[in-house]
């Protein structure tokens, strides 16, 4: 039975990707996802970063990737510890031509982890796993 919506139910707002290189990870995901782009920095942002001892956007510890048409955002966040185990949460992507998309994603820096009968498991350049499925017809 569906729950009634009373404004008290949580909604998915953002996905956060832990990584060692947030700017590079953000570039990968903005290129990998249709209609996503790195959020532009306003004129005050470089000064704010410098005031925190951060030389510029390439060293920003949190880089935002936004959808053009609404939906969950991606934050690429600096986490100094390396990834040690399988993700407990991952993204599932779908493509109408998954074989071509597999080639495009690996060209962007993803690696193929496992082929299954109905999908592929890949890892982004930081080792974060995600799945690629064929889009439903």
pLDDT along the chain (137 residues), means of 10: 65 90 97 96 92 93 94 93 81 94 97 96 94 87
Predicted confidence at residue 113, as pLDDT, reads 97
Q: Model-level pTM?
A: 0.87
C-alpha pair distances (Å), 96 with each of 1, 69, 133 = 32, 20, 9
Count the helices and strands in the chain (H runs, E runs).
Answer: 3, 8
C-alpha pair distances (Å), 21 with each of 57, 76, 94, 102 = 11, 8, 25, 23
Predicted confidence at residue 137, as pLDDT, reads 62
Chain-centre distance for alpha carbon 57: 17
- CA dist 28 and 128 (Å) reads 12
Predicted confidence at residue 5, as pLDDT, reads 62
Quote the DSSP letter at residue 83. P
Predicted confidence at residue 82, as pLDDT, reads 80
Instruction: Quick: pLDDT tens for 45-69.
Output: 999 999 999 999 999 999 999 999 8
């Amino acid at each position: 039975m569906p729950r009634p919506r009373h404004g008290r139910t949580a909604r998915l707002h953002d996905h956060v990707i832990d990584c060692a290189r947030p700017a590079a990870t953000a570039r990968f995901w903005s290129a990998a996802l249709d209609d996503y782009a790195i959020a532009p920095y306003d004129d005050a942002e470089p000064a704010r970063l410098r005031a925190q001892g951060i030389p510029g956007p390439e060293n920003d510890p949190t880089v935002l990737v936004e959808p053009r048409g609404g939906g969950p955002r991606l934050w690429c966040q600096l986490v100094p510890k390396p990834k040690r185990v399988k993700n407990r949460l991952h993204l599932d992507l779908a493509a109408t031509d998954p074989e071509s998309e597999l080639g495009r994603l690996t060209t962007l820096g993803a690696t193929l982890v496992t082929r299954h009968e109905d999908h592929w498991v890949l890892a982004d350049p930081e080792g974060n796993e995600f799945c690629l499925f064929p889009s439903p017809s």
